[in-house]
Amino acid sequence: MAPAVIIQNLQKSYGNTKAVKDVSFQVEPGEIFGLLGPNGAGKTTTIRCLCTLAMPDAGKIEVSGISVINNPKQARQRIGYVAQEVALDKILTGRELLQLQAALYHLPGKFGKERIDAMIDTLGLQEYADQKSGTYSGGIRKRLDLAAGLLHKPDLLVLDEPTVGLDIESRVVMWDILRQLRDAGTTVLLTSHYLEEVDALADRVAIIDQGVVIASGTPSQLKDRVGGDRVTLRIREFSPMEEAEKAKDMLKSLPFVQEVIINNAQGNSLNLVVTPQNDALIVIQQALQAAGLPTFGIAQSRPSLDDVYLAATGKTLMDAELAAVSSRDLKAEKKQSMK
């Protein structure tokens, strides 16, 4: 069976901006694949190339072995695309939108009708289907959009930032739906700049930064590759700087501690990278006690995808996010998305 998606050495520029410099990854049939990266990393451009909305400058894109570039129509038949911004015609009802969608994918009349009913039912849209979509809340709009993307039973569902702007509960519902889809055999490719989302959902991940894939694998593999466990330590709820410094110096001398960082934003708590070992927390607490320092809170965890990102780029996803937001030219992006 051909891979669900092959993207090789994809490049795409808009004017002088190299949105995608070199992106390669492969999605296997029946998995949820997450494309993680900060805003402006090139995720959406990659998706636009995959979904035949943008012509790549260079590179290869295949969906189930079909070249998207040479056979766009056949590829489109296999892809269900759910864009980041839900585009509904607010004067149409949900059902009317789905009817239009069914015709655009050439579903035969009776089958189309069955599919529409099935999707309305599956996504819990019964009480909304015959109201104008202009009256919908954000979550319902997104669900209708998802119904439209799934109507023609695509092999591959592509979602660009599926939960941006949704409340927590809607997000969890969306996750559930995507997992059920995957379990029913649909391949799901989603982009996200939410770590938890990709961590919770994706079977495999590619982390993308500044138009380049910087790491890929299962979340677990990626974390293992970064190595070490993370320990978050609070001496007091708000520790004075001198105490934090003192503890830092002391903890650094422990053999299994690789790194200690004082987090000013979190009341001078200490973030440690440690070689995994069972009694790490006990040893740390004993050492603190011996030095006459209290322990307000201590927790050990595996590295997160953020640590993976940090290790590869030298900045946290949050920092990259903030930098991207401040350097963003929204007008230019709007223009780009219309091209």
Residues that bind another protein (CB under 8 A): 12, 51-55, 72-74, 76-77, 79, 81, 83, 85, 87-89, 91-92, 96, 99-108, 111, 118, 121-124, 132, 137, 139-140, 142-143, 148, 150, 152-153, 155, 166-167, 169-170, 173-174, 176-177, 180-181, 183-186, 335, 337-339
Q: Which is nearer to another protein, 112 or 219 (CB)?
A: 112
Closest approach of another protein to the CB of residue 17, in Å: 13
- Helices marked H in the chain: 43-50, 72-78, 94-104, 109-122, 138-150, 168-183, 195-201, 219-226, 241-252, 280-290, 305-313, 317-326, 330-338
Closest approach of another protein to the CB of residue 30, in Å: 10
Q: Which is nearer to another protein, 328 or 335 (CB)?
A: 335
Give the H/E segment covering residue 35: strand 32-36
Q: Which is nearer to another protein, 102 or 198 (CB)?
A: 102
Q: Which is nearer to another protein, 108 or 292 (CB)?
A: 108
Rounded to the nearest 10 degrees, how much is the dihedral formed by the CA atoms of 102, 167, 165, 7?
Answer: -60
Closest approach of another protein to the CB of residue 31, in Å: 14
Closest approach of another protein to the CB of residue 204, in Å: 20
From 276, 266, 273, select the one nearest 318 (Cα to Cα): 266
Residue 39: phi, psi to the nearest 5? -55, 140
Q: For the CA atoms of the chain, what is the radius of gyration? A: 24
- Helices marked H in 253-296: 280-290
Q: Which is nearer to another protein, 139 or 217 (CB)?
A: 139
Closest approach of another protein to the CB of residue 178, in Å: 10
Are 166 and 141 a contacting pair, CB within 8 Å?
Answer: no
